[in-house]
Amino acid sequence: MQPLCHDDERLALLQFKESFIINKLASLGDPFAYPKVKSWTSKGESSDCCSWDGVECDETQVGNLSRLTYLNLSHSVLSGEIPFEVSKLFQLSTLDICCNDDFSSEKFSLQLKEMSLTSLVGNLTRIENLDVSGVSIISTVPNILANMTTLRSLYLHDCGMYGEFPIGIFKLPNLRVLDVKYNADLTTYWPDFQYWSSPLEELDLGATNFSGELPASMGNLKSLIALNMWGCNLSGSIPSSIGNLTNLIYLRLSNNSLAGNIPPSIGNLIQLGFLDLSSNQLNGPIPFEFANLTQLIVLSLGSNRLTGLIPFGLANLTQLHTFSLLGNERGQPFSIWNLNILDNNYHKCHDPNPNQGFRYMT
Which tens digits make up the pLDDT trace of 216-255? 999 999 999 999 999 999 999 999 999 999 999 999 999 9
What does the pLDDT read at residue 62? 35
- Nearest-Å Rg of the Cα atoms of the chain is 23
CA angle 57, 61, 66 (to 5 degrees): 65
pLDDT higher than 80, residue 114:
no
Amino acid at 349: C
pLDDT for 347 equals 35
Burial environment of residue 258 by CB neighbours within 10 A (0 to 12, 13 to 18, 19 or more): buried
Task: Give pLDDT, residue 250.
Answer: 98
Q: Phi-psi bin for 260: left (phi > 0), alpha (psi -120 to 50), beta?
A: left
Encode pLDDT of 291-315 as tens digits.
999 999 999 999 999 988 888 889 8
The rounded distance, in Å, linking the Cα atoms of 89 and 139 is 23
- Mean pLDDT throughout 35-41? 77
> Per the CATH hierarchy, to which homologous superfamily does domain 194-362 belong?
Ribonuclease Inhibitor (3.80.10.10)
Distance of CA 8 to the CA centre of its chain: 37
The pTM for the full model equals 0.78
Contacts of 185 by beta carbon, 8 Å cutoff, 6+ apart: 161, 162, 163, 209
Q: Tell me what the mean pLDDT of segment 187-193 comes to.
A: 87
Instruction: Locate the domains of the chain by residue range.
Output: 1-189, 194-362
CATH of domain 1-189: 3.80.10.10
| Coil/strand/helix, residue 213 | strand
* pLDDT of 317 above 80: yes
For 253-308, the DSSP string reads --SS--EEEPPGGGGG-TT-SEEE--SSEEEEPPPGGGGG-TT-SEEE--SSEE-S
Predicted confidence (pLDDT) per residue in 119-152, tens digit = 999 999 999 999 999 999 999 999 999 999 999 9
| Average of per-residue pLDDT across 145-162 | 97
Q: Name the least confident of 54-63, 147-156, 172-181.
A: 54-63
Comparing 1-189 with 194-362, is the CATH topology the same?
yes
